[in-house]
Chain A
Amino acid sequence: MELEYKLAERAGTPLIYLSGRFDSEGAEYFKEQIASLVNAQRPNLVVNMSQVEFVDSLGLAVLVSALKLCRRYKGVMKLVGIQSAPRMLFEVTHLNKAFQIYDDEDSAFAS
């Protein structure tokens, strides 16, 4: 299943719901969307990944690019609800230390 991208908002912050496979095709689309949000002065983002079943190296790379873009504009990008198998990739690559990762939306918005 291709990546689906849905933009919502909570407490004035863009909240992005992703589902499906976060690999080459979907990753490019995600990158463009994040760039347009950041360019519209919205560098604080929460990305809900609880419906993402597969992430590959390109998905990781694009998430890192998005994180750096948000930071460049003094923003923060938080990841929420990463499934257990993709989460293993964040651990193996130490990217779990680069991202702010939360189990659920409430804890991401509470911090």
Chain B
Amino acid sequence: MQEDNYSAPAQDKLTLALVDVSIPASYENLTIFGTIIREYCAALPQLLQEALPASETAIPTNYSHLVYCVELVVQEAASNIIRHGYREEAGAGELRLQLSLDASEANLHALVILLEDSAPAFNPTLARIEPPNPLDPRESGYGLYLIQKLTDKLEYWREAGKNYLKMVKYLK
């Protein structure tokens, strides 16, 4: 039995690639990522409205927290790469940041953050970080813990000598 050919074809779900920027890996340059993220996130509500049918538009209720989380997890992951991956050597390599909007899951739009570097392999998703003890809080080691806690999905893979860290934040 043939499908009804007269109805409008289902609109392809969207992946909007919006930011793709590479910087020489250094702490000073991280402020560039921060600025880009804030600017991109400021434009996001409008992009969502234009790109998606009204019924599917989902603008997070706590938008400033979302922007903060994105900036923070990028800063934490990128400084880890600079510190442990590139060992703070000037000119040791690059960091590439890609941001995209993924609407491939129904009613669950996601901001996808992809960090790429060419430092030695390190898989931050495998690090088991104990939750801090409020009675005797530790004096370091909050970075990976925050990355794990503030993202909805965290994936790592290595391909052609490069590390890829994908951090997903649902817009909810």
Closest to A91 in B: B149
Q: How far is the CA of A85 from the CA of B150 in the complex (A)?
A: 12
Task: Indicate if the CB atoms of B139 and A61 lie closer than 8 Å.
Answer: yes
Nearest-Cβ distance from residue A40 to partner chain B, whole angstroms: 22
**Interface segment, one of B47-55, B72-80, B94-102, B152-160:** B72-80
Q: Is the interface of A mostly helix, strand, loop or mixed?
A: helix
A20 smallest CB distance to B (angstroms):
12
Residues on B with C-beta less than 8 A from A68 are 139
Distance in Å: Cβ of B69 to nearest Cβ of chain A: 8
Interface size bracket, A side: 20 to 34
Given A24-B79, A56-B76, A57-B76: A93 in contact with B139 (beta carbons within 8 A): no
A-facing mask of B126-160, CB < 8 A → 1, else 0? Answer: 00000111110111111101100110000000000
Per-position contact with B for A10-46: 1 when CB-CB < 8 Å, else 0?
0000000000000110000000000000000000000
Given known contacts A56-B72, A61-B142, A85-B64, is B149 in contact with A95 (CB within 8 Å)? no
With a cutoff of 8 Å between Cβ atoms, the chain A residues found around residue B145 in the complex are 57, 93
Kindly state whether residue A74 has any CB partner on chain B within 8 Å.
no
Given A24-B27, A85-B64, A93-B145, residue A54 in contact with residue B134 (CB < 8 A): no
Contacts of B64 in A (CB 8 A): 84-85
Interface residues of A in 53-84 (CB under 8 A from B): 54, 56-58, 60-61, 64-65, 67-68, 84
Residue A88 is within 8 A (CB to CB) of chain B in the complex:
yes
The smallest beta-carbon distance between B32 and chain A, in angstroms, is 14
Contacts of B135 in A (CB 8 A): 98
B150 in complex: contacting residue of A24, A60, A92, A95, CB < 8 Å: A92
Instruction: Pick the residue among A58, A67, A86, A95 that contacts B132 (CB under 8 A).
Output: A95
- Judging by beta carbons under 8 Å apart, are A93 and B65 in contact? no
Check A89 against B132 for contact (C-beta < 8 Å): no
Chain B: minimal CB distance from A63 (Å): 9
Q: Which residues of A contact B150 (CB under 8 A)?
A: 92
Q: Give bound CA distance, A65 to B64, whole Å.
A: 28
State whether B139 touches A92 (Cβ < 8 A): no
Mind listing 8 A-B residue pairs with CB under 8 Å? Answer: A24-B27, A56-B72, A56-B76, A57-B143, A57-B145, A94-B132, A95-B134, A98-B132
Please give me the 8 A-B residue pairs with the lowest Cβ-Cβ distance, nearest first: A97-B134, A57-B142, A85-B68, A57-B143, A98-B134, A94-B134, A98-B137, A64-B137
Chain A positions near chain B (C-beta within 8 angstroms): 23-24, 54, 56-58, 60-61, 64-65, 67-68, 84-86, 88-89, 92-98
Known: A54-B72, A57-B76, A94-B131. 18 other contacts (CB 8 A): A24-B79, A56-B72, A56-B76, A56-B143, A57-B142, A57-B146, A58-B142, A60-B142, A61-B141, A65-B139, A67-B137, A68-B139, A84-B65, A86-B68, A93-B131, A94-B132, A94-B137, A96-B134
